[in-house]
Amino acid sequence: MSHIHIPDGVLPVWIVAAGWAVTALLLALCIRRVNSGDVKRKLPLIGIVSALMIAGMTLEIVPIAYHVNLSIIAGILLGPALAFISVFIVDLIISMFGHGGITVVGLNTVVIGAEAVLGYYLFQLLRTAMAGRGIGWSSALAAVLSLFLSTSIMLGIVYVSHINPAVALHTEETVHDADGGAAVDMEAHGSLDFGRFVKTIFLLAPLGWALEAAVTGLVVSYLYRVRPDLVASEKT
């Protein structure tokens, strides 16, 4: 739900540039934070988690028009730095499939990367505070809180960009201009007041949050039983 489904040429240049600038800065910090030995050791896990994120982000659950990001799982298993790098790669790949424009990759990395990073730190905090309730519950709650915050970031981006909120979620319905470039079919989306848009998002989003929280809790709980080393250790 927090992924920004907007093609190229819709958002103002300044906000696109800001998204890339923030992403570039955070990527540089993450790359400096990880060491080559850690990357080599976790490379298979990085590949698996990234592939699952690609599948989750591109397969829509039709009844509620939602797709799981699995970014909180990525944060918990890979740690904040490697998870953010993985989110950038995933966003870049799915943008080539028309899942948001390439120019929007920077903003999407900020939004989804925030889910992964917040998910990791909230999980570490909650697993201590909720030690008696099991690791599944702490990871599920971390997912809900992270998704709420990332959705709020997405709404903030839509607000400051002053675009029609109706194009912010699903813009696979594009038309082509005379030069062959992609353009948003504004008539297909209609106009939507931002206040109404926010109410709609927070009315529908909790269904998706609950689903992703359930998936996160079950996956993390299972992995903790069979491979506790993937979950138990703190990561950079």
Q: What local confidence, expressed as pLDDT, does residue 9 receive?
A: 84
Tens digit of pLDDT at every position of the chain (236 positions): 577 778 888 889 999 999 999 999 999 999 998 887 778 888 999 999 999 999 988 887 766 667 888 999 999 999 999 999 999 999 999 988 877 789 999 999 999 999 999 999 999 999 888 876 789 999 999 999 999 999 999 999 989 988 877 666 554 444 334 444 444 444 444 566 788 888 888 888 888 899 999 999 999 999 999 998 888 666 77
SS3 48: helix
Grouping H, G, I as helix, E, B as strand and the rest as coil, residue 234 is: coil
Burial 175-211 (b: 16+ CB within 10 A, else e): eeeeeeeeebeeeebeeeeeeebbeebeeebbebbeb
Structural domains of the chain ordered from first start = 13-173+184-232 (1.10.1760.20)
| pTM for this model (two decimals) | 0.85
- What's CA 43's distance to the chain center, in Å? 21
Look-up of token digits 């992270």: 146
Would you state the pLDDT for residue 188? 45
Give, as one character, the DSSP assignment of residue 133.
G
Token pair of 175 as six digits: 């038309």
- The closest of 68, 84, 157 to 118, measured between CA atoms, is 84
State the residue for tokens 């509620």.
64
Residue 42 has phi, psi (to 5 degrees) of -100, 5
CA geometry: angle 183, 189, 190, nearest 5 deg: 115
Strands (E), 76-230: 174-176, 182-184
Tokens 């992924």 belong to residue: 3
Residue 62 confidence (pLDDT): 66
Residue-level pLDDT at 42: 87
Is the distance from CB of 117 to CB of 23 less than 8 angstroms? no
Q: Six-digit token pair at 147? A: 């998704």
Tokens of 198: 């926010």
What pLDDT sits at residue 6? 81
* Maximum alpha-carbon separation in the chain: 63
Distance CA 148, CA 146 (A): 5
Strand partners of residue 176: 182
* Token digits of residue 199: 């109410």
Positive/negative CA dihedral, 44, 49, 50, 54: positive
CA distance 62 to 49: 23
